[in-house]
Amino acid sequence: MSIVPLTELGNPLLRQPSTPFSDPTSPEVARVLANMRDTLHAYRAQTGYGRAISAPQIGVLKRLIYIDTADTTLELVNPRFERWSRDEDERYESCFSFPGMWGLVQRPLSVVVVGWTSQGVEQRIEASGSLARIIQHEMDHLDGFVWLDRNPDLHSLCTTGEYEKRYTSR
């Protein structure tokens, strides 16, 4: 479809909760999903970063996530958490809604999320490790949060250059 400008930190849309689609198979879902996919791939080609995107990041306040990693390609329409683990860990995260900044974020190690595909197939995803973290990061966007809201230690903030120098071996 097309590459859409990213909604950046400071835009009030990033702080608003998203509403569900009434029909996961609607043409609107297909259009927004195509724009998200094109935008994510363009960002990744330009920067080398980007594994997932949520609809609010392209200015659409709807509950839709697209994930594209080396291991997984996943679309989640109207996702919701079913459960998450009590065990947590802390890892560095970044976001292309405010590029160039990294910080430590504590999150549950595993999650179970339920949602739909754009073909109307219900899916239940049991995720751990980096996929669980990606899902939680994108779900935060759907609820009007960004990773900075989950970062109690502002001393961990760093630029992409510093992150790459110090932590890429982590």
Would strands 88-94 and 64-68 be described as parallel, antiparallel, or unpaired? unpaired
Query: Which residue in the list 90, 93, 138, 162 is annotated as catalytic?
Result: 138
Q: What ranges make up the beta strands (E) of the chain? A: 52-54, 64-68, 73-84, 88-94, 101-108, 110-116, 122-128, 158-159
Alpha-carbon span 77 to 64, nearest angstrom = 5
Residue 83 has which token pair? 């459960």
Q: How far is CA 114 from CA 97, 111, 168, in A?
A: 25, 10, 32
Cβ contact 111:153 at 8 Å: no
Q: Element (H or E) spanning 7, and its range?
A: none
Q: Is 138 a catalytic residue?
A: yes
Active site residue ranges:
138
